[in-house]
Structure 1
Amino acid sequence: MVKPLVLIVEDTIENIKVLGAILKPLDCNIAIAKEGKTALSIAETKLPDLILLDVMMPGMSGFEVCEKLKENKKTKDIPVIFLTALAEVSDITKGFKLGAVDYVTKPFISEVLLARVITHLSISKDRKIIYNQKTKLQSLIHMLCHDLMNPTHAILTVLQLLKREQLENNESFELIEDSANRTKNLLIVIREFMSIEAKGLKIEKVDLFYAIKEAIESVKFRLKEKEVSVILNMKEPKYILAEEATLIHSVLVNLLTNSIKFSKAGDKIQIDCIEHDNEIECIVSDDGIGIPKTILNKLFDVDACTTRRGTSGESGTGFGMPLVKELMGRYGGDLDVESSIVKPTGTQVHLKFKRI
């Protein structure tokens, strides 16, 4: 477990020693700054879990340091406890207005200071957990809505063809039923995903060959619509560690949908499998328009805007690849993406799974 980091901002050596002794039972990491500018630099680079900030310092005061911390997007959420000999109500109020979470008066009462540090470290930890869960949940919702578009699009396509009487009724109903079943399966995935944080994914032996074929089947209408073909260079089962439903619907379907989205009529998507000693590498390649380097560098950043229109004007969310990265990590694997926007254009996604 990573130890919490507490930044002590204090210009007096004696007080720094006292604070260090008080915090010793916490077994935390401690960073020290004796003046404001150093404190701001450490806060931005190391992102401490808590800052103990002296108010009265030469040069930049603690109030000024706190104000700058709260103006910086990277440091604005770091909790600050003021250390002050100023006991006037106006000074205490000023500290809270600047964004401090607490204050401790000098001379320090060890038990009080320690109790407050423990409390605010706990709150800080809980806030980070909640933020991470919120971010993952947002990614999940966007990704699964994206995945639900495939069977929904298929149903709408069939209905349009029925109106034009281009399909036999039996075939049409079979296609609608198939798409409806895929939508149902994705809704099951959504329900299962909601409990991931509580129970975790059920990682087990999965046949990669079967998963790829199911994913291709899920996007067959989009392949036909854009006149894009898939070449699968696998002919037998390959067993990996993963979770089957998310592997099919949220990893493979997402990658295939992206390849289709950025391909032109007549382009090909190729899927290869390379066996290594301890892993199986699945490579999804396409001849599409490629990914610009500015987007490629932040492709897995959930906070970055990486969405763009496809070759036929298709829209996207930008949340797909961060979730694919997250899922591959949960499977115990990884992925890399290579792409070029100059001829020959195209993208290669390397999925690396643990081999069974």
Structure 2
Amino acid sequence: MMIESLLKPMHILLVDDNPNNLKVLSEAIQGCGWKTLMATDGESAIEQTEYSAPDLILLDVMMPGIDGFETCRRLKANSITQNIPIIFMTALADATDKVKGLEIGAVDYITKPFQQEEVIARLKLHLKISYLTRTLEQRVQERTAELTQSLQQLQNTQLQLIQSEKMSTLGQLIAGIGHEINNPIGFISGNCSHIEEYVKDLLRLVNLQQQKLPHPDPEIEELVEEIDLEYLVEDLPKILGSMDQGIGRLKDISLSLRTFARSDISSMVEFQIHEGIDSTLMLLKHRLKDQGERSVIEVVKQYGELPPITCYPGQLNQVFMNIIANAIDAFDDLYQNRSVEEIAAASPHTITIATSIQHEQQTVTICIEDNALGMPPEVQARVFEPSFTTKPVGKGTGLGLAISYQIIIDKHNGQINCSSTSGQGTKFIITLATSVDRKKISAIALG
């Protein structure tokens, strides 16, 4: 495209107190297909520039009122007009005056009396430079936006790969552990019922023998005393009961493992949120107990009546795991560099998990709140950024909350927000639809 065709819509403001100069310049400029605007003093030139936004200004230096230099200073000080190129027109031949004009922002000088050909040539040159500058800036902005978008897409893709790999690896691990646990659990559980029956029979036999033989052999009496038969008869059923409870605990852990990492990556299913939270708490139970100086962490459940929701259960459970595990880490950090007195005065540690349903919006809300360290504003603003972490090297990757954000926002079209007060605690609020449009979710996930 020819430069002339690009410059046709250009508007040029002529500022001169000499009407004859304005007429000559206007005729020459209009002959090139450009449009002219005119002003006879600096004040009106500034006013006209602000509302008409010319592409270039031809500005006389010597004018009544404010001169060209002061007019130029004011135009360059205004964010609206500062980028408009200004060419001075002057009869002053002193190099000092020319340098002064260039220092305050002019792009060129035209010396009076001027030649029309020179004026037109200089105007073409600076209009072209201005056009190329604006075009370059626009291209830089567009390219920057494209690169920013590409970087965001790359980060999202990386998180999706990490998320898929973690869930796949976790699912395989859980399946293996579940298989290994279930076999001995089944064996022990099946035999325990027989052991209970055998023990009952043996105790009945011993009891009957004592009744039928009130005066047993001295050697038998010595053995009865040695093994403390009375205590054995009393304690053995208790031991069997404890074993039964332990087996029940193992079954609960196995069930929690299967609930936590369900193999549902490729499809959404109906799921009861409370089951996912409870399975997560079961797996973290050992970390909630006393840990040396750090006292027990109490979990306060404030569950509402929630219907099953359509979701990816395994991925939601991973979100619960990340948030609750981070809360436990925060309580552990409370005890670093603290005196015995400060530790003794610390408030009881609590993690409150509240759920509710909003019938009108057809959404459920999960709120997970702790009363640990909290976060300063600069940290809170970056908690969902990939690879951002405040933990020491080897203690965290900075991906947990970034993946959680992607799971809630991209995979479930939900919302996750964090509010925190330094020194008081942190709250995460998750909002999910009770049912979702699978096609819409797929479109969001593909981005």
C-alpha distance in structure 2 between counterparts of 1:148 and 1:340, whole Å: 39
Task: Quote the residue 1:246 is aligned against.
Answer: 315
Task: Quote the residue 1:315 is aligned against.
Answer: 395
Aligned with 2:384 (options 300, 305, 318): 300
Is 1:134 the counterpart of 2:161? The answer is no
Cα–Cα, structure 1 residues 45 and 287, in superposed 2: closer, same or farther, change >3 Å?
farther
Instruction: Give the TM-score normalised by the residue count of structure 2.
Output: 0.42
Report the Cα offset of residue 354 of structure 1: 1.0
Cα–Cα, structure 1 residues 281 and 262, in superposed 2: closer, same or farther, change >3 Å?
same
Tell me if the contact between 2:262 and 2:313 (Cα under 8 Å) persists in the aligned partners.
no
Task: Quote the residue 1:207 is aligned against.
Answer: 272
Q: Deviations over 1:271-308 (max 9, x none)?
A: 11232222111111100101222221122222x52242
Between the aligned residues of both structures, percent identity stands at 16
Tell me if the contact between 1:209 and 1:236 (Cα under 8 Å) persists in the aligned partners.
no
How many residues align? The count is 229
Q: Which runs of 5+ in 2 are unaligned?
A: 8-129, 175-241, 333-345, 436-447
C-alpha distance in structure 1 between counterparts of 2:353 and 2:260, whole Å: 23
Task: Quote the residue 1:218 is aligned against.
Answer: 283
Superposed, 1:1-356 pairs within 5 Å as: 12=3, 34-36=131-133, 38-40=135-137, 42-44=139-141, 47=144, 74=147, 132-138=156-162, 141=165, 193=265, 201-202=267-268, 204-226=269-291, 227-234=296-303, 236-248=305-317, 250-264=318-332, 266-276=348-358, 277-278=360-361, 279-302=363-386, 304-308=387-391, 315-329=395-409, 330-342=411-423, 345-355=424-434
RMSD over aligned Cα atoms: 4.5
Tell me if the contact between 2:256 and 2:279 (Cα under 8 Å) persists in the aligned partners.
no
Q: Which runs of 5+ in 1 are unaligned?
A: 1-9, 17-32, 50-73, 79-123, 151-167
C-alpha distance in structure 2 between counterparts of 1:184 and 1:217, whole Å: 12
Task: Output the amino acid matched with 1:336.
Answer: N
C-alpha distance in structure 2 between counterparts of 1:13 and 1:177, whole Å: 83
Report the Cα offset of residue 36 of structure 1: 4.7
Tell me if the contact between 2:389 and 2:396 (Cα under 8 Å) persists in the aligned partners.
no
- What secondary structure, in the 3-state scheme, does the structure 2 residue paired with 1:252 have? helix
Cα–Cα, structure 1 residues 148 and 260, in superposed 2: closer, same or farther, change >3 Å?
farther
C-alpha distance in structure 2 between counterparts of 1:234 and 1:130, whole Å: 38
1 or 2, which has the higher helix percentage? 2
Instruction: Give the TM-score normalised by the residue count of structure 1.
Output: 0.51
C-alpha distance in structure 1 between counterparts of 2:405 and 2:155, whole Å: 18
Report the Cα offset of residue 230 of structure 1: 0.5
C-alpha distance in structure 1 between counterparts of 2:350 and 2:171, whole Å: 21
